[in-house]
Structure 1
Amino acid sequence: MDQSVFIALVNNAALLLALAVVYELTYLFPAKSCRSRQLISGILISMICILIMKIPLELHPGLMIDTRSILISTSGLIFGPIPTVITVISAMAFRVYSGGIGALPGLGIILTSALIGSAWRLILYPRSKKWSWLNVYIMSLTVHSAMLICMFLLPYPESVSVLRDIGIPVLLIYPVVSILLCLLLLRQQEIREYQLQLRQSEERFQTLFDHAPLGYQSLDENGCFLNVNQQWLDTLGYTSEEVLGRWFGDFLMLESRKLFQRQFPVFKARGYARSELILIHKSGKPIHIAFEGRIGYDMDGALKQIHCVLQDITELKMKEEALTNSELKYHRLFESMKEGILMIEADSGIITEINPYLLQLSGYSEDFFVGKRIWNLGLFHEIAESSIEIITLKDGESLKFEDSGFFSIHGAYRNTEIAVSACHVKELKMLQMNVRDITERKRIENALLESEIKYSSYIQNALLESEIKYSSHIENAPGGITITPSAPFPCCI
């Protein structure tokens, strides 16, 4: 075995390193143009293959040995079918063009290398990625064993002579070169995949960062902005150029700014903060913000940056204020109404609230009512007797008791009208009992009734007395004249 054979094969194999450059060049194309990337990869690999075939080890006139088998099998394993097919077509065309007695074995080597490399990619390699170097070594032995078999396509005795000259170098050098080349390309592939995953992760994070429903800001140790997301900018109406590098307190209302100045050292020392602040929109209107922040530390435990999440609670604050005003308005109405009101839990019948007017009307204290069951008070007998009907009332329904009453703590009887209606308060069924004092109305009605009876009696007596006098006058009339009245004696009242 001639030493020059080893040197020639090693020099030829060195050209395979250009394949790593091709692999890097393919990533210059956008990820979306995958088909274009494969086509261009195939063209570049074909050019390398033809260059390798142009500087071969020439054993005999027309019989050339090179490292195309390594290139094509590696292309099938790493680059896939499209670049491999392009390379095979180009290599076969060039080999036919070159001619010589080695044309037929050369075509066989090209085809077998492509088929074995592609089959390995589809069938065997995915099952044993952990042993990639051994996998590539076995593939290369298979490829180059097939290459040596193809030498039998040469006429005898040239086939035997070639096998004797290149058999050992091919089986020793080519698998090692294949391992080194494939591991280099696989390493590049892994790095590119990690870079792609990292880029996709960064893009997902950036998308989440910009389109998150909450505002985000990061501050340095002095409270100046390092970064803000799009939601923060949209909430306050600024651009990033107007914000980054400025002090957070510049965007706070005066009271919130004082609070931030006072609490910021405590925040940094404790590592966590939660508060409500009022920020200034670019238009000047106040924005109520729920603020939550945490300290981010570096590997040495020093403050790296301050992460803050901000939620716009302006609308919530407006609703809370409206609710407070509504409750205050209701409470004032509840307190000032000239009608007794009791709020009762429907399920239990327990009184939860009573207004001052009913306390004044009954003379009892609030403790007498609140926390007690309405049925057990002993004041409202009609309510106790109708408890089942009252409990089963639905929203919007009501029961009225028009002629009821109770004795006050002082023993005075109070005539009342009672109306009980059902409603829901924060998913809790409640009963509202309105007690109207009609004692004065009843007194007036009774007085009118007594007056009517009295004067009706007077009228009846007057009519009877008038009839008696008239009858007596007729009986004593002179001349025996008898007068028979056709109608009762008129009486005007």
Structure 2
Amino acid sequence: MAEGMIISLINNLALLLALGVIYEVSYSLPSRWNKAVEIIKGLLIGMICLAIMLVPFQFTSGLVFDTRSILLSISAYVFGPIPSIIAGAIGIAYRVSMGGVGVFTGVTVVILSVALGLLWRRIGPQIFPRRIWLQIYVLGLVVHILMLGAMFLMPFESAIVVVRAIRLPVLAIYPIGSVFLAVLLLHQRDRHEAMGRVVEAENRYRTLFEGSKTINMLVDPASGKILDVNPAAVDYYGWTAQQMKGMRVSDISTLSAVEVKNEMDLAVAGQQNYFQVQHRKSDGTVVDVEVYSGPIEIDGKTMLYSATHDITQRVAVQRELEDSENRFRRLIDSAPAAIFIQADGVFVFVNRFTMELLGAKRPQDLIGTSVVERCHPDEREAVQKRIRLLNESKLAVPIRTGTMVRLDGSTVIVDISAVPIQYKGKHGALVFAQDVTERIQMERVKSEMEAQQRQRQKMEAIGTLAGGVAHEINNPISGIMNYAQLIQDKATDGSEQAVYAGEIIHETERIAQIVRNLLQFSRQEKQSHSYASPYDIVEQTISLIRTIIKKDQIELEIEMEPGLPKLKCRSQQIQQVIMNLLTNARDALNEKYDTYDENKKIRLLVQQHAKDDRRWIRFVVEDRGSGIPVEIKDKIFEPFFSTKPKDLGTGLGLSISFGIVHDHHGILSVDSKEGEYTRMILDLPVDNGWDLK
């Protein structure tokens, strides 16, 4: 019986080879059937399952054995859930229709085979990542051990007889059959995936080759024959694609066949991929071209892929420049402007004015030295890019303003432009430099003056408006104060009316004082020099900003040394400076703290000190905001420099304040640590030397 069973099962295994045919069929289906491929696979596998079950080994009546367990477990492992479940359902349906004592066992084997195949599809590669045959063998062994176990779903005595009879062929043949079938299918899958990648790469190459506007050719370097050309090449040269495919590179090149072969050998070896040559068109026209050529592997053979660009016009310009070099050399040398030539990024020629511009005593001080080293460090990267455009791409660069470093380390601002030339066989540039240091400085002064003038005009307009508003407010305030005084005069001392009237008088006097301070602060006409009390200056300034600071939940600490002397100044201007410093401190705190914080405070310190046998008054405005970064600390007094958004700052506040302090012979400085604090320090001499007459 065992021998007959083994022969029957081996014959049954042969039917499994049909599964390989199904795999091939699935790859040949039209792409529009992609969504139905899984179902079709399942139906085809189910048909094979039926064929296998139609020629089983019959152990007893109603108890048959075949290779459906191999078919279904490997199908689940290779094809996935949908095909294997469909095939399993077909197998179950047919086994139920067969009936017999082993029907329940047969259905269980189908279910176990599909389930274990799908499970092993997930965990098998993790357990045996590099040995696919071992994965499949273990799967086949586990499936058929469980199949033997399923025999015990029949009566125990029958199960023992069956297991003893089939255990050897099942455990010996079935796992090996599983490995053979799986390896066959996986090999087919890998082969088709590799073919798919090849087709995809060929399609991508063809799209890039045909669709490019660049002239593309594929050349056999061994024979020099043109194998393929794109439409751009056909349009450029004037021959048809078929005609060009029958030509050699030497047929369109002005070089000899030997010279062409040498250049192709260089390209194949990767020693050179750029060539500047002349080509012939179909009408006999000779054009200058640059060719980028490199090796490419096609069907295991090395070819040359060449991209060609027409440079006829550029070459004509270069030749004209080369021809004119000697003619203009003496003109350049004697020109009343700084002109020099650079090649490979170094000075190769300088005229007299270039030496004067850079502080050189003789040409040898500059010849052979780096052009980039004579540029400001912040601009060197940009200069290197411009040199590459000039030397490699042969493109002129537009005029720009930059800073050059003289040999003694000082700097000079220049307007500089350049055009590409060829000098003594080297690609370089003719550079023109014009000293504009004085002009730039004058423009900066003019810009600062215009900005200050605009600010003065703005403040004058504000002063005019404030004056009108003050007069309009003062009239009703005076009426309110007078009526409150009348009420207080008639009221009994200590009564509610007297108390309320006193409060009204106090508040109206405070409003009147604020209006007077605002009017005095906003006036921008020339104020005569006078002695002013530091206490009054601070009090009048604080009265204008105290409410805003309180609204922002900022604590204001004021420390004023007693007995401070009066100082010569224009008090409104000093108020303007202090107001600006307090406003900046407020903005810094609001930026760091959205709501109340114990560190959200401004400290105003006023004290007297002596320096150089003179008395000075120092005003210090300190905040615990974000501080000033080191890299911008030296720029904060420059006009239009601001770290605030455009709608919050003009960049003129500190610049104007600096000018006011300078006019008062004082000093405005800053002490800051980024992330911790900022102290703005205003030092004013008690006697600044002004004549008060």
Whether TM exceeds 0.5 here: the answer is: yes
Which residue matches 1:476? none
Deviation by residue 1:48-75 (Cα, 9 ceiling, x = unmatched): 0000011111122222111100100010
- Counterpart contact for 1:343–1:353, Cα < 8 Å: no
- Counterpart contact for 1:218–1:225, Cα < 8 Å: yes
The structure 1 residue matched to 2:434, chosen from 423, 431, 434, is 431
Tell me whether 1:373 sits opposite 2:351 in the alignment: no
Distance in 2 (CA, whole Å) between partners of 1:140 and 1:305 is 46
Distance in 2 (CA, whole Å) between partners of 1:157 and 1:5 is 20
Which residue matches 1:313? 310
Offset, 1:321: 3.3
- Counterpart contact for 1:49–1:71, Cα < 8 Å: yes
- The two structures, once aligned, show a CA RMSD in angstroms of 4.3
Offset, 1:12: 1.2
- Counterpart contact for 2:400–2:417, Cα < 8 Å: no
Which residue matches 2:243? 242
- Counterpart contact for 1:220–1:306, Cα < 8 Å: yes
Tell me whether 1:344 sits opposite 2:335 in the alignment: no
Matched position secondary structure for 1:181: helix
| Residue 194 to residue 97, structure 1, CA distance change in 2 (3 Å) | same
Query: In the alignment, residue 309 of structure 2 is paired with which amino acid?
Result: D
Which residue matches 2:114? 114
Matched position secondary structure for 2:276: strand
- Counterpart contact for 2:237–2:280, Cα < 8 Å: yes
Offset, 1:246: 2.0
Which residue matches 1:455? none
Distance in 2 (CA, whole Å) between partners of 1:82 and 1:324 is 72
Deviation by residue 1:367-417 (Cα, 9 ceiling, x = unmatched): xx466427999xxxxxxxxxxxxxxxx979xxxxxxxxxxxxxxxxxxxxx
| Residue 375 to residue 24, structure 1, CA distance change in 2 (3 Å) | closer
| Residue 33 to residue 319, structure 1, CA distance change in 2 (3 Å) | same
Distance in 2 (CA, whole Å) between partners of 1:295 and 1:160 is 70
Matched position secondary structure for 2:59: strand
Offset, 1:179: 1.6
Query: In the alignment, residue 416 of structure 2 is paired with which amino acid?
Result: H
Which residue matches 2:664? none
Query: In the alignment, residue 81 of structure 2 is paired with which amino acid?
Result: P
Offset, 1:151: 1.6
Matched ranges for 1:85-96 at <5 A: 85-96=85-96
Distance in 2 (CA, whole Å) between partners of 1:141 and 1:375 is 88
- Counterpart contact for 1:422–1:429, Cα < 8 Å: no
Deviation by residue 1:257-278 (Cα, 9 ceiling, x = unmatched): xx33462465578777764333
Which residue matches 1:194? 194
| Residue 336 to residue 55, structure 1, CA distance change in 2 (3 Å) | closer
Offset, 1:180: 1.6
Query: In the alignment, residue 125 of structure 1 is paired with which amino acid?
Result: P
Matched position secondary structure for 1:130: coil
Which residue matches 2:234? 233
Matched ranges for 1:130-279 at <5 A: 130-211=130-211, 213=214, 215-219=216-220, 221-252=222-253, 256=254, 259-261=255-257, 263-264=259-260, 267=263, 275-279=275-279
Matched ranges for 1:407-446 at <5 A: 423-426=415-418, 430-431=433-434
| Residue 33 to residue 115, structure 1, CA distance change in 2 (3 Å) | same
Distance in 1 (CA, whole Å) between partners of 2:105 and 2:306 is 70
| Residue 129 to residue 191, structure 1, CA distance change in 2 (3 Å) | farther
Matched position secondary structure for 2:101: coil
Query: In the alignment, residue 344 of structure 1 is paired with which amino acid?
Result: A
Query: In the alignment, residue 234 of structure 2 is paired with which amino acid?
Result: L
Deviation by residue 1:204-241 (Cα, 9 ceiling, x = unmatched): 44444445645233146554323334553354354421
Distance in 2 (CA, whole Å) between partners of 1:269 and 1:84 is 56
- Counterpart contact for 2:137–2:178, Cα < 8 Å: yes
Offset, 1:145: 1.6
- Counterpart contact for 1:293–1:306, Cα < 8 Å: no
Matched position secondary structure for 2:16: helix
| Residue 165 to residue 261, structure 1, CA distance change in 2 (3 Å) | closer
Matched position secondary structure for 2:28: coil
Query: In the alignment, residue 3 of structure 2 is paired with which amino acid?
Result: Q
- Counterpart contact for 1:77–1:118, Cα < 8 Å: yes
| Residue 328 to residue 422, structure 1, CA distance change in 2 (3 Å) | farther
Offset, 1:88: 0.9
Which residue matches 2:100? 100
Which residue matches 2:59? 59
**Alignment TM-score, normalising by the size of structure 2:** 0.45
Query: In the alignment, residue 243 of structure 1 is paired with which amino acid?
Result: M
Matched ranges for 1:68-83 at <5 A: 68-83=68-83
| Residue 309 to residue 163, structure 1, CA distance change in 2 (3 Å) | same
Offset, 1:110: 0.6
Distance in 1 (CA, whole Å) between partners of 2:86 and 2:359 is 98
Matched position secondary structure for 2:128: helix
| Residue 228 to residue 64, structure 1, CA distance change in 2 (3 Å) | same
Matched position secondary structure for 1:100: coil
- Counterpart contact for 2:339–2:353, Cα < 8 Å: no
Is the radius of gyration larger for structure 1 or structure 2? 1
Distance in 2 (CA, whole Å) between partners of 1:125 and 1:251 is 57
Query: In the alignment, residue 142 of structure 2 is paired with which amino acid?
Result: T
Offset, 1:330: 12
| Residue 341 to residue 114, structure 1, CA distance change in 2 (3 Å) | same
| Residue 202 to residue 324, structure 1, CA distance change in 2 (3 Å) | closer
With a CA cutoff of 8 Å and minimum separation of 6, indicate the structure with the bigger relative contact order. Answer: 1
| Residue 220 to residue 245, structure 1, CA distance change in 2 (3 Å) | farther
| Residue 79 to residue 267, structure 1, CA distance change in 2 (3 Å) | same
Deviation by residue 1:307-337 (Cα, 9 ceiling, x = unmatched): 36242133xx314535776899999899999
Which residue matches 1:38? 38
**Alignment TM-score, normalising by the size of structure 1:** 0.62
Distance in 2 (CA, whole Å) between partners of 1:269 and 1:13 is 57
Which residue matches 2:634? none
Distance in 2 (CA, whole Å) between partners of 1:281 and 1:104 is 83
Matched position secondary structure for 1:148: helix
Matched position secondary structure for 1:279: strand
Distance in 1 (CA, whole Å) between partners of 2:89 and 2:37 is 18
- Counterpart contact for 2:221–2:265, Cα < 8 Å: no
Distance in 1 (CA, whole Å) between partners of 2:245 and 2:359 is 68
- Counterpart contact for 1:217–1:232, Cα < 8 Å: no
Which residue matches 1:364? none
Tell me whether 1:290 sits opposite 2:270 in the alignment: no
| Residue 192 to residue 126, structure 1, CA distance change in 2 (3 Å) | farther
- Counterpart contact for 1:235–1:312, Cα < 8 Å: no
Distance in 1 (CA, whole Å) between partners of 2:359 and 2:260 is 58
- Counterpart contact for 1:218–1:228, Cα < 8 Å: no
Distance in 2 (CA, whole Å) between partners of 1:163 and 1:103 is 16
Point out where structure 1 has 5 or more consecutive residues left out of the alignment.
299-303, 355-368, 378-393, 397-420, 434-493
Matched position secondary structure for 1:9: helix
Distance in 2 (CA, whole Å) between partners of 1:277 and 1:93 is 77
Deviation by residue 1:351-374 (Cα, 9 ceiling, x = unmatched): x777xxxxxxxxxxxxxx466427
Query: In the alignment, residue 336 of structure 2 is paired with which amino acid?
Result: L
Matched position secondary structure for 1:288: strand
Size of the aligned set, in residue pairs, is 366
